[in-house]
Amino acid sequence: MADTSLNVIVSSALDVVYSQNQSFLQTVERSRVEAALLDALTTVMPKSLTLDSDKPDFESIILRLVQELQQSQAWVDIIPSGTGQTLLRAIAAGMSYALLASERAYQEVMNKGSSPTAILANASLLGVRIQRNTPARVKVRFTRADVDTIYTIPRFSKFTINGVPFFNRNILTFNRFDVSIETTLYQGLIYSGQASMSGIPFEKISFGDENKLISNEDVYVFVDDIEWDRTVTSPWKWEIDEEAFYERTLSNGNVEIMFGDRRYGKIIDPQSILKIVWSETNGSASNASLSSQVVYYEDAPTTIEITGETLTTVFGGADMEALSFYKEMAPHIRPAQMVANRRGDHRAVALQYPGVVDALFRGQAELNPGKRSWMNVMGATVLTKTEWVTSEWDAFKKYMEDNTVFRLEYLRLDPIAEDMDIVANIGCIPSADLDEVEQYLKEAIQISLGPRRGILGYSVYLSDIDSVLHGEGKYKSLIETVEVLEPTTHKLLTDKTKYNRIVNVTLNMSYSTRKSYSGRLDMIGA
Protein backbone atom coordinates (compact mmCIF):
# COMPACT_ATOMS: atom_id res chain seq x y z
CA MET A 1 0.00 0.00 0.00
CA ALA A 2 1.35 3.39 -0.96
CA ASP A 3 2.40 5.90 1.70
CA THR A 4 -0.15 8.38 0.40
CA SER A 5 -2.91 5.83 1.08
CA LEU A 6 -1.70 5.36 4.66
CA ASN A 7 -1.63 9.12 5.15
CA VAL A 8 -5.25 9.36 4.04
CA ILE A 9 -6.31 6.50 6.34
CA VAL A 10 -4.53 8.00 9.35
CA SER A 11 -5.92 11.48 8.70
CA SER A 12 -9.47 10.18 8.25
CA ALA A 13 -9.20 8.06 11.39
CA LEU A 14 -8.11 11.05 13.45
CA ASP A 15 -11.01 13.07 12.08
CA VAL A 16 -13.40 10.38 13.33
CA VAL A 17 -11.77 10.28 16.77
CA TYR A 18 -11.78 14.07 17.09
CA SER A 19 -15.46 14.26 16.20
CA GLN A 20 -16.25 11.85 19.07
CA ASN A 21 -13.73 13.18 21.58
CA GLN A 22 -12.66 16.77 20.92
CA SER A 23 -10.32 16.83 23.93
CA PHE A 24 -8.13 14.09 22.46
CA LEU A 25 -5.82 16.44 20.55
CA GLN A 26 -5.63 19.20 23.16
CA THR A 27 -2.62 17.74 24.95
CA VAL A 28 -0.79 16.25 21.97
CA GLU A 29 -0.13 17.94 18.66
CA ARG A 30 -1.98 16.35 15.76
CA SER A 31 1.16 16.22 13.62
CA ARG A 32 2.98 14.13 16.26
CA VAL A 33 0.05 11.70 16.50
CA GLU A 34 -0.12 11.35 12.71
CA ALA A 35 3.65 10.78 12.48
CA ALA A 36 3.59 8.11 15.23
CA LEU A 37 0.63 6.30 13.67
CA LEU A 38 2.15 6.43 10.20
CA ASP A 39 5.41 4.99 11.51
CA ALA A 40 3.56 2.20 13.30
CA LEU A 41 1.42 1.35 10.29
CA THR A 42 4.43 1.33 8.01
CA THR A 43 5.98 -1.28 10.27
CA VAL A 44 2.80 -3.35 10.57
CA MET A 45 1.85 -3.39 6.91
CA PRO A 46 3.64 -6.00 4.77
CA LYS A 47 5.81 -4.76 1.94
CA SER A 48 3.79 -6.86 -0.51
CA LEU A 49 0.36 -8.48 -0.38
CA THR A 50 -0.19 -12.14 -1.10
CA LEU A 51 -3.84 -11.88 -1.98
CA ASP A 52 -4.48 -15.59 -2.25
CA SER A 53 -3.59 -16.15 1.39
CA ASP A 54 -3.95 -12.85 3.26
CA LYS A 55 -7.44 -12.15 4.51
CA PRO A 56 -8.25 -8.44 4.50
CA ASP A 57 -10.76 -8.74 7.33
CA PHE A 58 -11.38 -6.09 9.96
CA GLU A 59 -10.68 -8.28 12.99
CA SER A 60 -7.26 -9.54 11.93
CA ILE A 61 -6.07 -6.05 11.00
CA ILE A 62 -7.10 -4.51 14.30
CA LEU A 63 -5.41 -7.41 16.16
CA ARG A 64 -2.13 -6.80 14.30
CA LEU A 65 -2.33 -3.10 15.05
CA VAL A 66 -2.87 -3.68 18.78
CA GLN A 67 0.00 -6.16 18.94
CA GLU A 68 2.35 -3.79 17.20
CA LEU A 69 1.40 -0.63 19.12
CA GLN A 70 1.64 -2.40 22.50
CA GLN A 71 5.36 -2.71 21.89
CA SER A 72 5.62 1.10 22.09
CA GLN A 73 5.65 2.60 25.60
CA ALA A 74 3.95 5.74 24.27
CA TRP A 75 0.85 3.75 23.25
CA VAL A 76 0.53 1.20 26.06
CA ASP A 77 -1.93 3.33 28.06
CA ILE A 78 -3.81 4.69 25.06
CA ILE A 79 -4.66 1.35 23.42
CA PRO A 80 -7.23 0.15 26.04
CA SER A 81 -9.03 3.52 26.21
CA GLY A 82 -12.21 4.37 24.35
CA THR A 83 -10.36 6.92 22.27
CA GLY A 84 -7.66 4.45 21.37
CA GLN A 85 -10.18 1.80 20.37
CA THR A 86 -12.08 4.29 18.21
CA LEU A 87 -8.86 5.29 16.52
CA LEU A 88 -7.84 1.70 15.82
CA ARG A 89 -11.29 0.76 14.52
CA ALA A 90 -11.28 3.68 12.10
CA ILE A 91 -7.82 2.78 10.79
CA ALA A 92 -8.62 -0.93 10.52
CA ALA A 93 -11.81 -0.18 8.59
CA GLY A 94 -9.95 1.96 6.06
CA MET A 95 -7.23 -0.65 5.60
CA SER A 96 -9.70 -3.55 5.21
CA TYR A 97 -11.61 -1.68 2.53
CA ALA A 98 -8.38 -0.92 0.66
CA LEU A 99 -7.21 -4.53 0.82
CA LEU A 100 -10.62 -5.83 -0.23
CA ALA A 101 -10.57 -3.55 -3.27
CA SER A 102 -7.14 -4.91 -4.23
CA GLU A 103 -8.30 -8.50 -3.83
CA ARG A 104 -11.43 -7.89 -5.90
CA ALA A 105 -9.34 -6.34 -8.69
CA TYR A 106 -7.08 -9.40 -8.65
CA GLN A 107 -10.08 -11.72 -8.84
CA GLU A 108 -11.56 -9.78 -11.74
CA VAL A 109 -8.38 -10.15 -13.77
CA MET A 110 -7.80 -13.84 -13.00
CA ASN A 111 -11.43 -14.85 -13.60
CA LYS A 112 -12.01 -12.89 -16.85
CA GLY A 113 -14.05 -10.40 -14.85
CA SER A 114 -17.74 -9.92 -14.33
CA SER A 115 -17.97 -6.15 -14.20
CA PRO A 116 -18.26 -4.21 -17.49
CA THR A 117 -14.91 -2.54 -16.90
CA ALA A 118 -13.16 -5.86 -16.26
CA ILE A 119 -14.71 -7.55 -19.30
CA LEU A 120 -13.67 -4.74 -21.63
CA ALA A 121 -10.22 -4.52 -20.05
CA ASN A 122 -9.63 -8.23 -20.61
CA ALA A 123 -10.84 -7.99 -24.22
CA SER A 124 -8.47 -5.09 -24.80
CA LEU A 125 -5.60 -7.01 -23.17
CA LEU A 126 -6.25 -9.89 -25.59
CA GLY A 127 -6.20 -7.50 -28.53
CA VAL A 128 -9.90 -8.00 -29.29
CA ARG A 129 -11.66 -4.94 -30.69
CA ILE A 130 -15.07 -4.00 -29.28
CA GLN A 131 -17.42 -3.55 -32.24
CA ARG A 132 -20.00 -0.77 -32.14
CA ASN A 133 -23.31 -0.27 -33.99
CA THR A 134 -23.22 -1.17 -37.69
CA PRO A 135 -25.22 1.22 -39.90
CA ALA A 136 -28.12 -0.02 -42.01
CA ARG A 137 -27.77 0.59 -45.75
CA VAL A 138 -29.98 0.89 -48.79
CA LYS A 139 -29.46 1.14 -52.56
CA VAL A 140 -31.06 4.23 -54.07
CA ARG A 141 -31.50 5.92 -57.43
CA PHE A 142 -31.25 9.69 -57.84
CA THR A 143 -32.78 11.44 -60.82
CA ARG A 144 -32.34 15.04 -61.99
CA ALA A 145 -34.13 17.30 -64.46
CA ASP A 146 -31.14 19.32 -65.72
CA VAL A 147 -28.80 17.05 -67.70
CA ASP A 148 -26.70 19.68 -69.47
CA THR A 149 -24.16 20.13 -66.68
CA ILE A 150 -21.90 18.15 -64.41
CA TYR A 151 -23.19 18.11 -60.86
CA THR A 152 -21.67 16.54 -57.75
CA ILE A 153 -23.22 15.71 -54.41
CA PRO A 154 -20.56 16.22 -51.72
CA ARG A 155 -19.43 13.45 -49.45
CA PHE A 156 -21.36 13.09 -46.14
CA SER A 157 -24.44 14.90 -47.44
CA LYS A 158 -27.66 14.42 -45.50
CA PHE A 159 -30.61 12.45 -46.86
CA THR A 160 -33.80 11.29 -45.16
CA ILE A 161 -36.02 8.24 -45.77
CA ASN A 162 -39.26 8.25 -43.78
CA GLY A 163 -37.70 10.84 -41.51
CA VAL A 164 -34.61 8.69 -40.79
CA PRO A 165 -31.23 10.31 -41.62
CA PHE A 166 -28.83 8.74 -44.15
CA PHE A 167 -25.55 9.86 -45.74
CA ASN A 168 -23.25 9.01 -48.67
CA ARG A 169 -19.72 7.79 -48.02
CA ASN A 170 -18.39 8.91 -51.40
CA ILE A 171 -18.85 11.85 -53.75
CA LEU A 172 -21.77 11.29 -56.14
CA THR A 173 -21.31 12.68 -59.64
CA PHE A 174 -23.83 13.35 -62.38
CA ASN A 175 -21.82 13.52 -65.57
CA ARG A 176 -23.16 15.54 -68.44
CA PHE A 177 -26.29 13.97 -69.93
CA ASP A 178 -26.66 11.61 -66.92
CA VAL A 179 -30.31 11.46 -66.01
CA SER A 180 -29.86 9.21 -62.98
CA ILE A 181 -27.22 7.56 -60.83
CA GLU A 182 -27.37 4.67 -58.36
CA THR A 183 -25.52 4.41 -55.07
CA THR A 184 -25.68 3.10 -51.51
CA LEU A 185 -26.65 5.29 -48.57
CA TYR A 186 -25.86 4.54 -44.94
CA GLN A 187 -27.99 5.32 -41.92
CA GLY A 188 -26.64 7.88 -39.51
CA LEU A 189 -26.02 11.51 -38.64
CA ILE A 190 -22.64 13.02 -39.49
CA TYR A 191 -20.61 14.87 -36.84
CA SER A 192 -17.21 16.49 -37.05
CA GLY A 193 -14.68 18.22 -34.86
CA GLN A 194 -11.17 19.62 -34.87
CA ALA A 195 -8.35 18.97 -32.43
CA SER A 196 -4.87 20.29 -31.77
CA MET A 197 -2.03 17.79 -31.37
CA SER A 198 1.26 17.90 -29.50
CA GLY A 199 3.34 15.97 -32.01
CA ILE A 200 4.41 13.22 -29.58
CA PRO A 201 4.84 9.55 -30.54
CA PHE A 202 1.72 7.38 -30.41
CA GLU A 203 -0.46 10.36 -29.60
CA LYS A 204 -4.06 9.56 -28.74
CA ILE A 205 -7.34 11.42 -28.79
CA SER A 206 -10.86 10.30 -27.87
CA PHE A 207 -14.29 11.65 -28.81
CA GLY A 208 -18.01 10.96 -28.41
CA ASP A 209 -20.67 11.63 -25.79
CA GLU A 210 -20.93 8.12 -24.25
CA ASN A 211 -24.19 7.23 -25.99
CA LYS A 212 -22.69 4.12 -27.68
CA LEU A 213 -24.05 5.18 -31.08
CA ILE A 214 -20.83 5.90 -33.00
CA SER A 215 -20.74 3.80 -36.18
CA ASN A 216 -18.40 0.82 -36.19
CA GLU A 217 -17.39 1.66 -39.76
CA ASP A 218 -17.58 5.43 -40.18
CA VAL A 219 -14.68 7.19 -38.48
CA TYR A 220 -12.58 9.39 -40.75
CA VAL A 221 -9.47 11.49 -40.09
CA PHE A 222 -8.29 14.37 -42.24
CA VAL A 223 -4.93 16.08 -41.69
CA ASP A 224 -4.65 19.32 -43.64
CA ASP A 225 -7.61 18.10 -45.74
CA ILE A 226 -5.80 14.84 -46.62
CA GLU A 227 -7.62 11.69 -45.53
CA TRP A 228 -5.53 9.21 -43.55
CA ASP A 229 -6.00 5.45 -43.69
CA ARG A 230 -7.92 3.74 -40.88
CA THR A 231 -6.94 0.43 -39.31
CA VAL A 232 -8.57 -1.52 -36.50
CA THR A 233 -6.19 -4.49 -36.29
CA SER A 234 -2.49 -4.01 -36.95
CA PRO A 235 -0.78 -0.64 -36.38
CA TRP A 236 2.56 -2.46 -36.07
CA LYS A 237 2.40 -3.16 -39.82
CA TRP A 238 2.53 0.54 -40.70
CA GLU A 239 5.39 1.72 -42.85
CA ILE A 240 7.70 4.57 -41.84
CA ASP A 241 5.73 7.82 -41.80
CA GLU A 242 2.64 6.09 -43.23
CA GLU A 243 -0.41 8.38 -42.98
CA ALA A 244 -2.64 6.11 -40.94
CA PHE A 245 -4.43 5.93 -37.60
CA TYR A 246 -5.54 3.12 -35.31
CA GLU A 247 -9.10 3.19 -33.97
CA ARG A 248 -10.66 1.31 -31.05
CA THR A 249 -13.76 1.40 -28.83
CA LEU A 250 -13.55 2.58 -25.23
CA SER A 251 -15.59 1.07 -22.40
CA ASN A 252 -18.02 4.02 -22.39
CA GLY A 253 -18.78 3.64 -26.10
CA ASN A 254 -16.56 6.52 -27.20
CA VAL A 255 -13.80 6.13 -29.77
CA GLU A 256 -10.05 6.50 -29.28
CA ILE A 257 -7.70 7.03 -32.21
CA MET A 258 -3.92 6.68 -32.09
CA PHE A 259 -1.22 7.88 -34.46
CA GLY A 260 2.30 6.61 -35.10
CA ASP A 261 5.85 7.36 -33.94
CA ARG A 262 7.57 7.75 -37.38
CA ARG A 263 8.91 4.17 -37.25
CA TYR A 264 5.37 2.82 -37.33
CA GLY A 265 3.13 5.40 -38.90
CA LYS A 266 3.42 9.15 -39.04
CA ILE A 267 3.40 11.69 -36.21
CA ILE A 268 0.99 14.57 -36.71
CA ASP A 269 2.70 17.93 -36.99
CA PRO A 270 1.42 20.27 -34.22
CA GLN A 271 0.93 22.93 -36.88
CA SER A 272 -1.40 20.72 -38.91
CA ILE A 273 -5.18 20.97 -38.80
CA LEU A 274 -6.72 17.71 -37.61
CA LYS A 275 -10.36 17.08 -38.49
CA ILE A 276 -12.34 14.04 -37.35
CA VAL A 277 -15.59 13.02 -39.02
CA TRP A 278 -17.84 10.32 -37.63
CA SER A 279 -21.38 9.03 -37.82
CA GLU A 280 -23.86 8.09 -35.10
CA THR A 281 -26.21 5.31 -36.16
CA ASN A 282 -29.27 3.52 -34.78
CA GLY A 283 -28.02 0.04 -35.70
CA SER A 284 -30.74 -2.59 -36.20
CA ALA A 285 -33.55 -0.15 -35.33
CA SER A 286 -33.36 1.30 -38.86
CA ASN A 287 -33.76 -2.00 -40.72
CA ALA A 288 -36.99 -1.95 -42.73
CA SER A 289 -38.70 -4.28 -45.18
CA LEU A 290 -40.16 -1.52 -47.37
CA SER A 291 -38.73 -0.48 -50.73
CA SER A 292 -39.70 2.17 -53.31
CA GLN A 293 -39.55 4.86 -50.65
CA VAL A 294 -38.90 8.52 -51.38
CA VAL A 295 -35.37 9.74 -50.64
CA TYR A 296 -35.06 13.42 -49.76
CA TYR A 297 -31.79 15.25 -50.42
CA GLU A 298 -31.80 17.63 -47.46
CA ASP A 299 -28.63 19.53 -48.47
CA ALA A 300 -29.72 20.16 -52.08
CA PRO A 301 -29.51 23.79 -53.23
CA THR A 302 -32.81 25.37 -54.12
CA THR A 303 -31.70 25.72 -57.74
CA ILE A 304 -31.16 21.98 -58.21
CA GLU A 305 -34.06 19.56 -58.59
CA ILE A 306 -33.03 16.04 -57.54
CA THR A 307 -35.44 13.25 -56.64
CA GLY A 308 -34.60 9.87 -55.17
CA GLU A 309 -36.16 6.49 -54.45
CA THR A 310 -35.00 3.32 -52.70
CA LEU A 311 -34.27 0.25 -54.82
CA THR A 312 -33.92 -2.26 -51.97
CA THR A 313 -35.00 -2.69 -48.42
CA VAL A 314 -33.03 -0.99 -45.64
CA PHE A 315 -30.83 -3.79 -44.31
CA GLY A 316 -27.60 -4.69 -42.53
CA GLY A 317 -27.99 -2.57 -39.39
CA ALA A 318 -26.75 -4.28 -36.24
CA ASP A 319 -26.33 -3.31 -32.60
CA MET A 320 -23.25 -3.36 -30.41
CA GLU A 321 -22.66 -6.84 -29.01
CA ALA A 322 -23.54 -7.46 -25.38
CA LEU A 323 -20.62 -7.62 -22.97
CA SER A 324 -21.36 -11.31 -22.35
CA PHE A 325 -20.25 -11.95 -25.93
CA TYR A 326 -16.75 -10.61 -25.26
CA LYS A 327 -16.51 -12.36 -21.89
CA GLU A 328 -17.02 -15.74 -23.53
CA MET A 329 -15.67 -15.22 -27.05
CA ALA A 330 -12.63 -12.96 -26.57
CA PRO A 331 -10.28 -15.93 -25.82
CA HIS A 332 -11.46 -17.59 -29.04
CA ILE A 333 -11.32 -14.46 -31.18
CA ARG A 334 -7.76 -13.73 -30.07
CA PRO A 335 -6.14 -16.86 -31.62
CA ALA A 336 -7.99 -16.25 -34.89
CA GLN A 337 -6.77 -12.65 -35.16
CA MET A 338 -9.31 -12.09 -37.92
CA VAL A 339 -7.48 -14.68 -40.05
CA ALA A 340 -9.65 -17.76 -40.47
CA ASN A 341 -7.74 -21.01 -40.86
CA ARG A 342 -9.29 -23.71 -38.70
CA ARG A 343 -13.03 -24.27 -38.43
CA GLY A 344 -13.05 -22.64 -35.02
CA ASP A 345 -11.33 -19.59 -36.48
CA HIS A 346 -14.00 -19.29 -39.16
CA ARG A 347 -16.72 -19.34 -36.51
CA ALA A 348 -14.94 -16.77 -34.33
CA VAL A 349 -14.56 -14.40 -37.29
CA ALA A 350 -18.14 -14.99 -38.49
CA LEU A 351 -19.65 -14.27 -35.08
CA GLN A 352 -18.19 -10.77 -35.23
CA TYR A 353 -20.10 -9.98 -38.40
CA PRO A 354 -23.20 -7.81 -37.82
CA GLY A 355 -26.42 -9.79 -37.65
CA VAL A 356 -24.81 -13.25 -37.20
CA VAL A 357 -26.29 -15.22 -34.28
CA ASP A 358 -24.53 -18.57 -34.71
CA ALA A 359 -22.38 -20.23 -37.35
CA LEU A 360 -21.16 -23.66 -38.41
CA PHE A 361 -18.40 -24.31 -40.95
CA ARG A 362 -17.65 -27.67 -42.59
CA GLY A 363 -14.95 -28.59 -45.04
CA GLN A 364 -14.41 -31.35 -47.58
CA ALA A 365 -14.12 -34.03 -44.87
CA GLU A 366 -17.71 -33.41 -43.77
CA LEU A 367 -19.33 -32.37 -47.04
CA ASN A 368 -17.90 -34.61 -49.74
CA PRO A 369 -14.75 -36.49 -48.72
CA GLY A 370 -14.58 -38.48 -51.98
CA LYS A 371 -14.29 -35.52 -54.35
CA ARG A 372 -11.03 -33.59 -54.75
CA SER A 373 -12.90 -30.69 -56.35
CA TRP A 374 -14.33 -29.92 -52.88
CA MET A 375 -10.91 -29.33 -51.30
CA ASN A 376 -11.26 -25.54 -51.25
CA VAL A 377 -14.98 -25.49 -50.50
CA MET A 378 -16.17 -24.39 -47.08
CA GLY A 379 -19.82 -24.99 -46.25
CA ALA A 380 -21.17 -22.04 -44.22
CA THR A 381 -24.32 -22.52 -42.16
CA VAL A 382 -25.06 -19.09 -40.72
CA LEU A 383 -28.01 -18.30 -38.48
CA THR A 384 -28.87 -14.60 -38.72
CA LYS A 385 -31.18 -12.25 -36.85
CA THR A 386 -33.17 -11.67 -40.04
CA GLU A 387 -33.37 -13.71 -43.21
CA TRP A 388 -30.62 -12.54 -45.55
CA VAL A 389 -31.25 -11.59 -49.15
CA THR A 390 -28.61 -12.36 -51.77
CA SER A 391 -26.84 -9.00 -51.41
CA GLU A 392 -26.46 -9.49 -47.65
CA TRP A 393 -25.01 -12.97 -48.14
CA ASP A 394 -22.60 -11.66 -50.79
CA ALA A 395 -21.38 -8.98 -48.38
CA PHE A 396 -20.80 -11.61 -45.67
CA LYS A 397 -19.05 -13.90 -48.14
CA LYS A 398 -16.64 -11.13 -49.14
CA TYR A 399 -16.00 -10.40 -45.46
CA MET A 400 -15.04 -14.04 -44.86
CA GLU A 401 -12.89 -14.15 -48.01
CA ASP A 402 -11.01 -11.06 -46.84
CA ASN A 403 -10.28 -12.70 -43.50
CA THR A 404 -8.99 -16.12 -44.47
CA VAL A 405 -5.41 -17.21 -45.07
CA PHE A 406 -6.07 -18.65 -48.49
CA ARG A 407 -8.71 -18.57 -51.19
CA LEU A 408 -11.82 -20.51 -50.26
CA GLU A 409 -15.17 -20.88 -51.91
CA TYR A 410 -17.90 -20.39 -49.36
CA LEU A 411 -20.99 -22.48 -50.04
CA ARG A 412 -24.21 -21.15 -48.53
CA LEU A 413 -25.99 -23.90 -46.58
CA ASP A 414 -28.82 -22.23 -44.68
CA PRO A 415 -29.79 -23.65 -41.27
CA ILE A 416 -32.96 -25.72 -41.03
CA ALA A 417 -35.53 -24.71 -38.43
CA GLU A 418 -37.43 -27.27 -36.39
CA ASP A 419 -40.52 -25.36 -35.29
CA MET A 420 -41.64 -25.75 -31.70
CA ASP A 421 -44.61 -24.44 -29.73
CA ILE A 422 -44.47 -24.10 -25.95
CA VAL A 423 -47.73 -24.40 -24.00
CA ALA A 424 -47.80 -24.56 -20.22
CA ASN A 425 -50.03 -24.01 -17.19
CA ILE A 426 -48.45 -21.70 -14.64
CA GLY A 427 -49.78 -21.46 -11.07
CA CYS A 428 -48.67 -18.46 -8.99
CA ILE A 429 -49.10 -17.47 -5.36
CA PRO A 430 -51.97 -15.03 -4.63
CA SER A 431 -49.69 -11.97 -4.26
CA ALA A 432 -48.19 -12.36 -7.75
CA ASP A 433 -48.98 -10.06 -10.69
CA LEU A 434 -49.93 -12.59 -13.37
CA ASP A 435 -49.26 -10.25 -16.30
CA GLU A 436 -45.81 -9.37 -14.97
CA VAL A 437 -44.89 -13.01 -14.40
CA GLU A 438 -46.14 -14.00 -17.85
CA GLN A 439 -44.07 -11.30 -19.55
CA TYR A 440 -41.00 -12.32 -17.57
CA LEU A 441 -41.37 -16.00 -18.49
CA LYS A 442 -41.83 -15.30 -22.19
CA GLU A 443 -38.68 -13.18 -22.20
CA ALA A 444 -36.79 -15.84 -20.22
CA ILE A 445 -37.79 -18.50 -22.78
CA GLN A 446 -36.46 -16.43 -25.65
CA ILE A 447 -33.20 -15.73 -23.80
CA SER A 448 -32.59 -19.34 -22.80
CA LEU A 449 -34.09 -21.28 -25.70
CA GLY A 450 -34.34 -18.70 -28.50
CA PRO A 451 -31.73 -17.66 -31.11
CA ARG A 452 -28.29 -17.41 -29.53
CA ARG A 453 -24.73 -18.61 -29.93
CA GLY A 454 -24.53 -22.39 -29.75
CA ILE A 455 -28.15 -23.00 -30.77
CA LEU A 456 -27.21 -24.86 -33.98
CA GLY A 457 -27.56 -28.56 -33.20
CA TYR A 458 -28.72 -27.80 -29.63
CA SER A 459 -31.33 -30.26 -28.34
CA VAL A 460 -34.10 -29.02 -26.07
CA TYR A 461 -35.23 -31.34 -23.29
CA LEU A 462 -38.50 -31.05 -21.42
CA SER A 463 -36.49 -30.41 -18.26
CA ASP A 464 -34.96 -27.33 -19.96
CA ILE A 465 -38.41 -25.85 -20.53
CA ASP A 466 -39.57 -26.79 -17.04
CA SER A 467 -36.50 -25.19 -15.47
CA VAL A 468 -36.99 -21.89 -17.32
CA LEU A 469 -40.70 -21.76 -16.42
CA HIS A 470 -39.95 -22.13 -12.72
CA GLY A 471 -38.23 -18.72 -12.89
CA GLU A 472 -35.25 -17.18 -11.14
CA GLY A 473 -34.77 -14.54 -8.46
CA LYS A 474 -37.97 -13.05 -7.09
CA TYR A 475 -40.05 -14.81 -9.73
CA LYS A 476 -38.98 -18.21 -8.43
CA SER A 477 -40.84 -17.48 -5.19
CA LEU A 478 -43.93 -16.26 -7.07
CA ILE A 479 -44.34 -19.40 -9.23
CA GLU A 480 -45.73 -22.42 -7.38
CA THR A 481 -46.68 -24.93 -10.07
CA VAL A 482 -45.61 -25.63 -13.65
CA GLU A 483 -47.26 -28.06 -16.06
CA VAL A 484 -45.71 -28.30 -19.54
CA LEU A 485 -48.36 -29.34 -22.11
CA GLU A 486 -46.33 -28.84 -25.30
CA PRO A 487 -44.01 -30.16 -26.50
CA THR A 488 -44.81 -33.64 -25.24
CA THR A 489 -41.39 -35.09 -26.04
CA HIS A 490 -37.79 -33.93 -26.09
CA LYS A 491 -36.79 -31.92 -29.17
CA LEU A 492 -33.61 -33.81 -30.03
CA LEU A 493 -31.32 -32.78 -32.88
CA THR A 494 -28.70 -35.02 -34.47
CA ASP A 495 -27.97 -32.66 -37.37
CA LYS A 496 -25.86 -29.63 -36.38
CA THR A 497 -27.30 -27.59 -39.27
CA LYS A 498 -30.72 -27.69 -37.59
CA TYR A 499 -31.99 -25.62 -34.69
CA ASN A 500 -35.11 -25.55 -32.56
CA ARG A 501 -37.17 -22.45 -33.38
CA ILE A 502 -39.84 -21.29 -30.95
CA VAL A 503 -42.91 -20.22 -32.94
CA ASN A 504 -45.58 -19.68 -30.29
CA VAL A 505 -45.49 -19.45 -26.51
CA THR A 506 -48.82 -19.87 -24.71
CA LEU A 507 -48.82 -19.59 -20.92
CA ASN A 508 -52.08 -20.21 -19.10
CA MET A 509 -51.64 -18.05 -16.02
CA SER A 510 -53.65 -18.62 -12.86
CA TYR A 511 -53.38 -18.48 -9.12
CA SER A 512 -52.42 -21.75 -7.53
CA THR A 513 -55.11 -23.68 -5.68
CA ARG A 514 -52.51 -25.05 -3.34
CA LYS A 515 -53.22 -23.90 0.23
CA SER A 516 -50.45 -22.34 2.23
CA TYR A 517 -50.20 -22.38 5.98
CA SER A 518 -50.66 -18.63 6.16
CA GLY A 519 -54.03 -17.72 7.65
CA ARG A 520 -55.13 -21.27 8.49
CA LEU A 521 -57.05 -21.33 11.79
CA ASP A 522 -56.12 -24.95 12.46
CA MET A 523 -52.42 -24.00 12.52
CA ILE A 524 -52.70 -21.19 15.05
CA GLY A 525 -50.65 -22.03 18.10
CA ALA A 526 -49.08 -25.02 16.43
pLDDT in tens, 181-237: 999 999 999 999 998 888 899 999 999 888 889 999 999 999 999 999 888 766 777
Is the domain of 425 the same as that of 350? Answer: no
User: Whole-angstrom Cα distance, residue 218 to residue 247?
Assistant: 11
Contact 315, 331 (CB under 8 A): no
Range of the domain at 507: 416-511
Residues 21, 101 within the same domain? yes
Classify the phi-psi angles of 133: left when phi > 0, otherwise alpha if psi is within -120 to 50, otherwise beta.
beta
Domain shared by 382 and 431, yes or no: no
Higher pLDDT, 334 or 92: 92
State the average pLDDT for the chain. 80
Alpha-carbon span 266 to 274, nearest angstrom: 13
Query: In this structure, what are the phi and psi dihedrals at residue 369, rounded to the nearest 5 degrees?
Result: -65, -20
pLDDT at 248: 86
Does 202 fall in a domain?
Answer: yes
Residue 300 is predicted with a pLDDT of: 85
Q: Are residues 146 and 274 in the same domain?
A: no
Tell whether 202 and 266 lie within a shared domain: yes
Which stretch of 107-121, 226-240, 344-358 has the lowest confidence by average pLDDT? 107-121
- What pLDDT score does 53 carry? 45
* Confidence bin at 284 (pLDDT 50/70/90): confident
Confidence of residue 381 (pLDDT cuts 50, 70, 90): very high
- 8-state DSSP, 45: S
Start-to-end C-alpha separation, the chain: 57
Which pLDDT does position 168 carry in this prediction? 96
Q: Rounded to whole angstroms, how far apart are CA atoms 410 and 397?
A: 7
H/E element, 297: strand 294-297
Q: Could you give the number of structural domains in the chain?
A: 5
**CATH code for the domain of 394:** 3.30.300.30
336 alpha carbon, distance to own chain's centre: 19
Give the closest residue to 327 by CA, choosing from 128, 512, 50.
Answer: 128
Verify that 256 and 202 share a domain, yes or no: yes
Domain match, 361 and 459 both? no
523 inside domain: no
pLDDT in tens, 131-151: 889 898 999 999 998 888 899
Cis preceding-peptide flag for 135 (omega within 30 of 0)? no
Backbone angles phi, psi at 490, to 5 degrees: -65, 145
- pLDDT for 51: 36
DSSP 351-414: TTSTTEEEEEEE-HHHH-TT-GGGTTEEEEEEEESS---HHHHHHHHHHHHHTBSS--EEEE--
Claim to verify: residue 183 and residue 292 sit in the same structural domain: yes
Domain boundary among 412, 430, 464: 412
How does DSSP classify residue 58? H
Domain membership flag for residue 55: yes
State the burial class of residue 287 (Cβ atoms within 10 Å of its Cβ: 0-12, 13-18, 19+). buried
Lowest mean pLDDT among 54-58, 134-138, 258-262: 54-58
Q: 29: which residues sit within 8 A by CB, 6+ positions away?
A: none
Residue 164 within a domain: yes
SS (H, E, C) 123-155: HHHCCCCCCCCECCEEEEEEEECCCCCCEEECC
* 82-110 helix and 30-44 helix, angle to the nearest 10 degrees: 50
Q: What is the pLDDT of residue 474?
A: 85
The per-residue pLDDT for range 467-495, each reduced to its tens digit, is 999 998 888 889 999 999 999 999 999 88
Kindly report the three-state secondary structure assignment for every residue of 69-92. Answer: HCCCCCCCCCCCCHHHHHHHHHHH
Q: Are 266 and 377 contained in the same domain?
A: no
**Which has the closest alpha carbon to 278: 334, 211, 344?**
211
Instruction: Give me the residues paired with residue 486 across strands.
Output: 423
Rounded CA separation 62/433 (Å) = 49
Tell whether 333 is covered by a domain: no
Rounded distance between C-alpha atoms, residue 365 and residue 371, angstroms: 10
pLDDT at site 219? 95
Does one domain contain both 219 and 359? no
Residue 116 within any structural domain of the chain: no
Name the phi and psi angles at 247, rounded to 5: -125, 135
Q: Please give the radius of gyration of the chain, using alpha carbons only, rounded to the nearest integer.
A: 32
Quote the pLDDT of residue 525.
Answer: 44
The whole-angstrom distance between residue 193's C-alpha and the CA centroid of its chain comes to 26
**Amino acid letter at 367?**
L
Specify whether the CB–CB gap between 249 and 129 falls below 8 A.
yes
* Nearest in space to 294 (alpha carbons), one of 429, 159, 177: 159
Of 393, 412, 431, which closes a domain?
412
Residue 478: inside a domain, yes or no?
yes
The reply to whether 37 and 141 lie within a common domain is no
Same domain, residue pair 232 and 355: no
94 domain-assigned? yes
Among 118, 438, 153, 406, residue whose Cα is nearest residue 298: 153
pLDDT at residue 59 in the model: 65
Of 237, 259, 280, which one is at a domain's C-terminal end? 280
Q: What is the pLDDT of residues 61-115, one digit of tens each?
A: 666 666 666 666 555 555 555 556 666 676 666 666 666 666 655 555 555 455 6
- Element holding 427 (H helix, E strand): strand 416-428
